[in-house]
Amino acid sequence: MNTEFTLTQKRALAAVTVIALLFGAYFLRHYFMLVVIAAIVAYLFTPLYNRCRGRFNTGLSATLTVLAALATVIAPVGALITVAVLQASQMVVHVADWVQTADLSTLGTQAIEFVNNLLAKLPFGHFSVTTESLRETMVSVSQNVGQWLLHSLTGAVGGVIDGVTSAIIFLYVLISLLTNQQALLTLVRRLNPLGDEVTDLYLAKMGAMVKGTVKGQFIIASVQGVLGAVSIYIAGFHNGFFIFAIFLTALSVIPLGSGIVTIPVGIGMILFGNIVGGLFVVLFHILGTTNIDNFLRPILVPREARLDSALMLLAVFSGIAMFGIWGIVLGPVLMIIIVTTISVYLAVYKGVEMTVDEPPEKRRRLFRRRIRAEVAAAADGGPSVD
């Protein structure tokens, strides 16, 4: 394009471009999470795509990469869910046998007496639990569960249609991101008014955080969940190992950890007579499971992706509040963008040295020299120094 724009026209064009980008984000808001998930998957499987690209054409390489990505998630999760369902059915049989042989009336009376003794020690109010109140509560819970199931079944058909549509869109977006990644990166660098150096810095930080959160955090959570299930199994509860492993892994992804389940389970074992097993579960979680994070995180999480523990906790829960379960990944990514922005500002305008986790010193000097030269050239009205 040979058209020369005035300064006013350039400013107007910049404003129109910003408005177009904001409108595009608003226009695609319903599929925002789907695009983000596709981008994360594409980033994680780009090395595999590049290796395939060295041997096959673009279409076959993208197909193999997508199949590998799906197999990496669907096959293990499907196998675990199948085993968990089979184990759940076995647990139902064991519970039924226990119900036939146990003296439920005596057990129920003992449980009610134990709860009432605890409530009597409260410094405020007088509360008590009776058989009638328990019966009414169970009836109310059953009605609510039934209504929830009915509502879920009613929307099942629409959910299947939406799921199929989202899956098709996800595959198209994922393939497009894999095959056009270099063009997309070039576009991002050109759109960023701060230049290629800052763009590369942000991309490196975001990539490190994605790898650290997806790979590191989920591996750590899996190890903690399996070890928690193993401790419960060793303590004497031999039914539901895979159920506990899946459930505790999901809880370990959240910073609160699996202790919100394993510790009450251990206390319950103590109260029901298995003192040694209950103490083992509680102590194993406190001394063993909680230290797994301290041991594996330095190995699995890159230094560029590490945040202060308080910032990480706030990032995860804020992300969950804003994006749902995917906020576990997106929350830390947004936080690392905020921290990087502050670090870049302090380095450029205040001369504050970046931390050791930033790019090498030579790159930082070149970056600051280029920014200062451009600012000085703009102030003098001359051309910028490249």
Between the alpha carbon of residue 82 and those of residues 93, 341, 386, the distances in Å are 17, 45, 59
CA distance 284 to 248: 14
pLDDT at 386: 43
Q: How confident is the model at residue 153 (pLDDT cuts 50, 70, 90)?
A: low
Sign of the four-CA dihedral 289, 292, 294, 297: negative
Amino acid type, 362: K
What global pTM score does this model have? 0.61
DSSP 326: G
pLDDT at 382: 47
Residues 6+ apart with CB under 8 A from 52: 60, 61, 64, 65
Share of the chain above pLDDT 70, in %: 67
Kindly report, residue by residue over 239-257, the tens digit of the pLDDT. 777 778 877 887 777 655 7
pLDDT at 148: 66
pLDDT at 376: 60
Kindly report, residue by residue over 284-305, the tens digit of the pLDDT. 888 888 788 777 777 776 666 6
The answer to whether residues 285 and 298 touch, using CB atoms and an 8 Å cutoff, is no
Mean pLDDT of the chain: 75
Kindly report, residue by residue over 160-200, the tens digit of the pLDDT. 677 788 888 888 998 998 898 888 888 888 887 777 777 88
Q: What are the residue boundaries of the structural domains of the chain, listed by start?
A: 30-95+134-185
CA distance 267 to 260: 11
pLDDT at 373: 59
Average pLDDT over residues 50-75: 85
Q: How confident is the model at residue 19 (pLDDT cuts 50, 70, 90)?
A: very high
Residue 170: which of 58, 344, 42 has the closest Cα?
Answer: 42
Between the alpha carbon of residue 188 and those of residues 59, 259, 283, the distances in Å are 24, 42, 50
